[in-house]
Structures are given as structure tokens and as C-alpha cells.
Amino acid sequence: MTSDFKRKSSTFKKLFYILRESLCLHTINKNRVLFYSFDGMYNDNPKYISEELHAQRPEVEIVWVHSSKCHDKLPDYVNCVESKTSAYYKAIFSANVVVDNYTGLRAGFSSKINLLRRLICVLYSRRFKGQYNISTWHGTPLKHLDLDQPGINRKRIKYYSGSDYFIAGCEHTKKALISGFSLNVPFKLYGTPRNDILFRMDIDTKKIKKKLSLPCNQKIVLFAPTFRENVEMSGVSQMSSLNFAKLIESLKMKFGGLWCFVVRVHHSVMQKINTAELIQKYRGVQIVDGNIGDDMAEYLACTDVLITDYSGSLFDFALTKRPCFLYAPDREQYEKVERGFYMDYDALPFPKSYTAEELVKNIASFDEIRYGQKVEKFLEDIGNAEDGHASKRVVHDILRFLDTCMK
């Protein structure tokens, strides 16, 4: 059986489930809240809303969609359904509240099949009037989103969202989502639930480090580049160009302490990075796989220095005021050809490097006071609404709906 046939069979099976379940008369379970993150993982904004909901009202039935992509252990109080199965579609159409971190379904208009998909998207995205649907999205975008990307024909693509509202952590995110998905959905500037952990003064970073197999007695420099279609430029090329001995020495000289280099890239990219060879080459430098945990927020909570390129994690990490350095050797290609940016890259408040040597120099010359001032101004300019209470705001809306059916 060819992979193309398998893919088509899987698509038609999925469309059949959606059509069947959307047309069935399901009874809404008034005490059931379903969460869905990244095609079946336990992380991101839905995770923190789910945990806050359970803390405030343990008797609410919490259902999580999971798949083989999920590596973190789900809490015992959670009921699970497997992603994209008949049971999943039954659960999503019968839940009283649905919380996800996507926009909705995409449909094209180039063929009869796509017109059929358009009809099914309408059915699926609207779900039922008795439900409350909340979309959290999954970060603050620097790079262009779907419809704003180079070469996209906006007239031939439409997004269908069943969300009653979207949440955003800043005005910039709101504008980008409206433009990138051509949305006509209400927004609430509640903050980003996954970032609540970055505001907690009582967070036990040692416990998180132990969970993620990170050394508790060392400072963490996290390298988290953006995933690209070109796997080599998704971290492999950058890793091979770094001189780890000079990089770690520069961190020691500037910030003091012992340092561990943590690499968080796509799993397919990590397979191409020979960490054993790097450790052998740079004796004394500890290099750790940062893909053990699914939750990026946990990594950021215990990170002392972030190195990235175009990842939305730079917005999250800015809330901590800790040092963030940008290492973007392919900036021109990425900005002009691949994705493009919603804001001037040069105006970002983080030190920028286009070579490994520049990165080391930027660390050595880092000015903490000036950096803090620039980050504060940056957060003000994007209309920041983060304060560590985003999860509570969403849970307030969920409980009000469960109790009164008021949206």
C-alpha cells in the first residue's frame, strides 16, 4: 500500500468521523471539559488551564486528547481519548466546554473534494450551540502566520473557527492572528496561561530540572532554534558552527557559575546532532537533550540564558528579563523567502548575532541594565497583558458557563 494511498485513506476516515459525529444528536455532558494541545500532547496553554480548573473544582470531568506524540505523564484525574479516532470525535461533540490551542480548520477551494472539505469544516467548526469553545493559540508570533506567508493566495484558503473567543498575551498577537487567519472572532487580552509559571515566585526549579534530567547545580543556557523545512538549518548547522568551549567560557566570565548547554530542537533534528561527538570534542562541557519534556514553559522557567533565532519563545522569555541572545545566520533567507516577520527584526531588544564569533562577543559585552530597559520598552510597545493570572481568567469563564450557561 503506497504512502499516498494511506494518507488519502486516513483523510477520508477522518472526514467520515467528523461528518458522522457532527450530524448525530449528542447529549451535552454539562460537567465535561475537553482539552486539546498540539495534536495530542500534554502541554502549552491548555495544560495550565486544565490544572487550574482541577485545583478550583476537582469534581469537573477533564478529558484530554492524547496521541503517541505525548511523552509527559497525564494526571490520574484526567480521562483520555486518542486523537482522531471515533471516540475523540464523540468526546469533542459531547463536551460542554472545549479548549484548544489552534485556530480551527483550514479548507481550500480548488476542487470538488475541497468543496466537500469546506462543508465538513463548517459542520465541525461550529460544533453545537450548547458548547463553549475557547482557543488559546500557542504563542506570540514573530514570523508570519499562515495566510501572511510569502506565496500564499489568500483568496483560495479559508479558516473555519468554532471558537467563542480567542485569548492573547498582547495586542501584537491579537493583530497577527486576525491577519494570519483572517479571523472574525472576539479576543480577550487575558495573558498566556503557559507563561503563568514564569511569574510564580514559589516555583521549584530544582524539581523541574530533576523531571527534565537537567543538572540542579548548574546554570542553564537553552538553545531553541525555529524548526524549518530545511532540517540542517533547524539546529544542525548552527550546532556545528558553535565553539562550545568559547561559548561556555564567555558565559562563565560574564555571569559566573557552572553552565550546562541544553539543546531543544525538533525530534527529527535531534537525531542528526551527534552530542556524543561534541562532548568528546569539548571535554568538560555538558550538552543535554532538551526534548525530554513536552512543555517548553517548564524549560524556560529554569533557563538562565536563552539562545534562539525567530522562535516565539523570545517573547515568553522576555517576561523574565533574563538574557536572550539571537543567533540567526540565515536571517536574509528566512525573512525574505521563507516566512517574513511581523516586526522589524533589528528593533528587537535582544543582542543579535549572525556568526558564532559574534554570539560569543555579544555575551561578553552584555549590559544588563541597558538590556532590561530595552525589554521593558519592547513589552510596552507590543501591548503586553501578561501578569501571571491568565489561567485563572479563563477558568473563571469556564466555571461561569458550567454554572449559568452564560458566555
- Render each residue's pLDDT in the chain as its tens digit; 407 residues: 444 444 445 656 665 555 555 555 568 889 999 999 998 999 999 999 999 999 999 999 999 999 988 888 899 999 999 988 888 888 888 899 999 998 776 666 655 556 666 666 666 666 667 899 999 999 999 999 999 998 888 888 888 888 999 999 999 999 999 999 998 899 999 999 999 999 999 999 999 999 999 999 999 999 999 988 788 888 888 988 999 999 999 999 999 999 999 999 877 787 777 777 887 777 788 999 999 889 999 999 999 999 999 999 999 999 999 999 999 999 999 999 999 999 999 999 999 999 999 999 999 999 999 999 999 999 999 999 999 999 999 999 999 999 999 99
Phi, psi at 197, each rounded to 5° = -65, -25
Lookup: cell for 318: 522576555
Query: For residues 400 and 406, is the Cβ–Cβ distance under 8 A?
Result: yes
Q: Measured between alpha carbons, how far is 70 from 74 in angstroms, rounded to an integer?
A: 9
Residues in CB range of 69: below 8 A, 6 or more apart: 38, 39, 40, 41, 294
Q: Measured between alpha carbons, how far is 45 from 33 in angstroms, rounded to an integer?
A: 15
Query: For residues 198 and 301, is the Cβ–Cβ distance under 8 A?
Result: yes
Lookup: cell for 180: 494570519
In this structure, how many other beta carbons lie within 10 angstroms of the beta carbon of residue 178? 16
In this structure, how many other beta carbons lie within 10 angstroms of the beta carbon of residue 162? 22
DSSP 251: H
Residue 120 lies in a domain: yes
Lookup: cell for 322: 533574563
Q: Are residues 322 and 174 part of one domain?
A: no
CATH of the domain at 369: 3.40.50.12580
Residue 17 lies in a domain: yes
Q: Are residues 128 and 22 part of one domain?
A: yes
Q: At what angle do helices 244-255 and 356-364 cross, to 10 degrees?
A: 10
At 31, which helix (H) or strand (E)? strand 29-36
Judged by DSSP in three states, 40 sits in coil
Q: Are residues 218 and 153 part of one domain?
A: no
Identity of the residue numbered 353: S
Q: Are residues 217 and 190 part of one domain?
A: no
Cα torsion angle, 397, 399, 405, 406, sign: negative
Q: Are residues 231 and 189 part of one domain?
A: no
Cα torsion angle, 108, 114, 120, 124, sign: negative
Q: Are residues 229 and 113 part of one domain?
A: no
Q: Are residues 250 and 182 part of one domain?
A: no
Residue 2 lies in a domain: no
DSSP 384: B
This prediction has a pTM of: 0.91
Q: Are residues 366 and 336 part of one domain?
A: yes
CATH of the domain at 155: 3.40.50.11820
Q: Residue 291 sits in which domain range?
A: 201-381
Q: Measured between alpha carbons, how far is 148 from 352 in angstroms, rounded to an integer?
A: 25
Q: Measured between alpha carbons, how far is 386 from 167 in angstroms, rounded to an integer?
A: 11
Q: Measured between alpha carbons, how far is 374 from 327 in angstroms, rounded to an integer?
A: 18
Instruction: Please tell me the total count of domains within the chain.
Output: 2
Residues forming beta bridges with residue 80, ordered by sequence position = 64
